[in-house]
Chains A and B, each alone.
Chain A
Amino acid sequence: MSTHKAYIVDAATDAAVEVELHDDLNAEVLLDIEAQWTPGRQELRAKLTELGVARDQWPQSLHWDWGRKGVALVFEAPDDYRVMAVRRHATWEAALVTRSKDHVALMAPDIGSPLIYVDYLEVAPWNWTVEKVRQRKFKAVGPVLLRAAIEQSYALGFAGRIGLHALPQAVSFYASQSLQFVQNDPGKQNLPYYELSAAEAKNRTGRR
């Protein structure tokens, strides 16, 4: 397990806030993360219900359960997953799971080259801006983890390439992070599949 210093942004003041990036955790931490996030999910679900917000407007990861994902990972891929997470003091602000085996780029000119697949990425419920309900507490949290996934890709010799399926509400975020739409994937609930090419990774990280 390794820990690095990183920065996120206080959404109210735009001030930089120092956090810890943990880039090599195991599935057990997902139980702690879900324990911290569950009250926020429940509170938000109750508020959305109370306000009569239509279900299709609810955050699309509201039903996620990181504890359940942790159980699945240790059975499905004990040697092929990595958990990364951002922590501020004792609070987990965002989490990401990557897979590094058997995933290759579908986008030219990198077709067939290995990449890091981002299996899940979510920020804590208090870091979601939910229209008519509340503003997020911290911003620029997701990019810290995406950068960590890119660094993992470099470390494994994958030239910074990453790929992921996006929830529709997250499409604009991934586009803003230089990921390119590849195709809708019928094998994955028709979710849009995005990739960051080696060239874009290079631009994004300033590597030569």
Chain B
Amino acid sequence: MHDKRQMTLSLTESEMKSLEQLAQRKNLTKTGVIRLALRLFQLVEERTADGEKIFFETGDKQKTELALL
């Protein structure tokens, strides 16, 4: 059920370092980071495709729009 497919991923040294740091910080495997990042990408894509915007909110409720350009 839902067999997984494998692929080879080529990353720069800096990208690999970022991946390893995220995996450590989030208690995930590197594959886990990439799979969850893909899910996040999908979520953002679903929402922004309909014209919605993304905001970050600070602790004191200040909102900043995430500029993707």
A and B associate: yes
Cβ contact within 8 Å between A79 and B27: yes
Stretch at the interface among B9-17, B30-38, B60-68: B30-38
Q: How many residues of chain B have a CB within 8 Å of chain A?
A: 14
Among A83-116, those with CB < 8 Å from B are: 90-91
**Measured between alpha carbons, how far is A70 from B29 in the docked complex, in Å?**
14
Whether A70 lies near B2 (C-beta < 8 A) is no
Is B36 touching A36 in the complex (CB atoms < 8 A)? no
- In contact, A31 and B43 (Cβ under 8 angstroms): no
Number of A-B contacts (CB under 8 A): 39
Q: How far is the CB of B15 from the nearest CB of chain A, in Å?
A: 18
Collect the chain A residues with CB atoms within 8 Å of residue B35's CB: 28, 31
CB <8 Å contact, B43 and A68:
yes
> How far apart sit A26 and B2, CA to CA, in the bound complex (Å)?
19
B5 within 8 A of A: no
Chain B residues whose CB sits within 8 angstroms of the CB of A27 once the complex forms: 26, 28, 32, 36
